[in-house]
Amino acid sequence: MINQGLINPQSIIVVGASNNVHKPGGRLMRNLLDGKYKGTLYAVNAKESDVQGIKSYASVNDVPEADLAIIAIPAAACPEVIDILANKKNVKAFILVSAGFGEETKEGAVLENKILETVNNAGASLIGPNCIGVMNTNYHGVFTRPVPEFHPEGVDFISSSGGTALFIMESALTKGLRFSSVWTVGNSKQIGVEDVLEHMDRNFDPVFDSRIKMLYIEQIKDPDKLLFHASSLIKKGCKIAAIKSGSTDSGQRAASSHTGAIASSDSAVEALFRKAGIVRCFSREELTTVASIFTLKEVKGKNCAIITHAGGPAVMLADALSKGNLNVPALEGPLAAELKSKLIPGAAVGNPIDIVGTGTPEHLATAIDYCENKFDNIDLMMVIFGNPGLVQVYDAYETLHKKMEECQKPIFPVLPSIVTAGPETKAFVKKGHVNFSDEVTLGAALSRIINTPKPASTDIQLYNVDVPKIRRIIDELPSSGYLSPENVRILLGAAQIPMAEEITSADKKELLAFAKRVGYPVVAKVVGPVHKSDIGGVALNIRTEDHLLLEIERMMKLPEVTGILVQPMLSGQELFLGAKYEERFGHVVLCGLGGIFVEVLKDVSYGLAPLSYEESTSMIQALRGYKIIQGTRGQKGIDQQQYADIIVRLSLMLRFATEIKEMDINPLISTDRGLFAVDARIRIEK
HEC per residue, 195-237: HHHHHHHHCCCCCCCCCEEEEEECCCCCHHHHHHHHHHHHHCC
CB-based contacts of 422, cutoff 8 Å, min separation 6? none
Cis peptide before 521 (omega within 30 of 0): yes
Say how far apart CA 678 and CA 625 lie, in whole Å.
21
pLDDT score of 259 = 57
pLDDT score of 255 = 41
User: What DSSP line would sit under 629-682, residue for residue?
Assistant: HH--TTPPPP-HHHHHHHHHHHHHHHHT-TTEEEEEEEEEEEETTEEEE--EEE
Nearest to 685 by CA among 473, 475, 470, 479: 479
CA 245 to chain centre: 11
Question: Crossing angle for the helix pair 508-518 and 545-555, nearest 10 degrees?
Answer: 140
pLDDT score of 209 = 96
| Phi, psi (degrees; rounded to nearest 5) at 575 | -120, 170
Q: What is the layout of strands, in order, in the sheet containing 353-354?
A: 353-354, 304-308, 380-384, 411-414
Nearest to 350 by CA among 320, 380, 375: 375
- Secondary structure element (H or E) that encloses residue 142, with its range: strand 140-142
Nearest to 158 by CA among 242, 235, 71, 96: 242
CATH architecture, domain defined by 304-433: 3-Layer(aba) Sandwich (3.40)
| Structural contact between residues 602 and 582, judged by C-beta atoms closer than 8 angstroms | no
CATH superfamily, domain 4-132, is NAD(P)-binding Rossmann-like Domain (3.40.50.720)
The DSSP code for 128 is -
- Secondary structure element (H or E) that encloses residue 444, with its range: helix 439-450
Instruction: Please tell me the total number of residues recorded for the chain in this structure.
Output: 686
The DSSP code for 500 is -
By three-state DSSP, how is residue 608 classified?
Answer: strand
By three-state DSSP, how is residue 307 classified?
Answer: strand
| Structural contact between residues 504 and 552, judged by C-beta atoms closer than 8 angstroms | no
Sign of CA dihedral 374, 377, 383, 389: negative
CATH architecture, domain defined by 148-294: 3-Layer(aba) Sandwich (3.40)
Residue 384 pairs in a beta bridge with: 308, 414
* Strand locations in 473-547 (E): 481-482, 503-505, 522-527, 538-542
Domain locations in the chain?
A: 4-132, 148-294, 304-433
| Phi, psi (degrees; rounded to nearest 5) at 146 | -80, 155
By three-state DSSP, how is residue 34 classified?
Answer: helix
By three-state DSSP, how is residue 71 classified?
Answer: strand
H and E: helices and strands count for the chain: 24, 29
HEC per residue, 164-181: HHHHHHHHHHHHCCCEEE
| Structural contact between residues 95 and 131, judged by C-beta atoms closer than 8 angstroms | yes
By three-state DSSP, how is residue 628 classified?
Answer: helix
| Structural contact between residues 301 and 380, judged by C-beta atoms closer than 8 angstroms | yes
pLDDT score of 596 = 74
| Structural contact between residues 666 and 258, judged by C-beta atoms closer than 8 angstroms | yes
The DSSP code for 384 is E
Identity at 144, one-letter amino acid code:
T
Which stretches of the chain score pLDDT less than 50? Answer: 250-258, 260
Cis peptide before 485 (omega within 30 of 0): no
pLDDT score of 20 = 96
| Structural contact between residues 654 and 589, judged by C-beta atoms closer than 8 angstroms | yes
Bridging pattern class, strands 380-384 and 411-414:
parallel
| Structural contact between residues 277 and 453, judged by C-beta atoms closer than 8 angstroms | yes
| Phi, psi (degrees; rounded to nearest 5) at 629 | -65, -40
pLDDT score of 175 = 96
Say how far apart CA 444 and CA 99 lie, in whole Å.
37
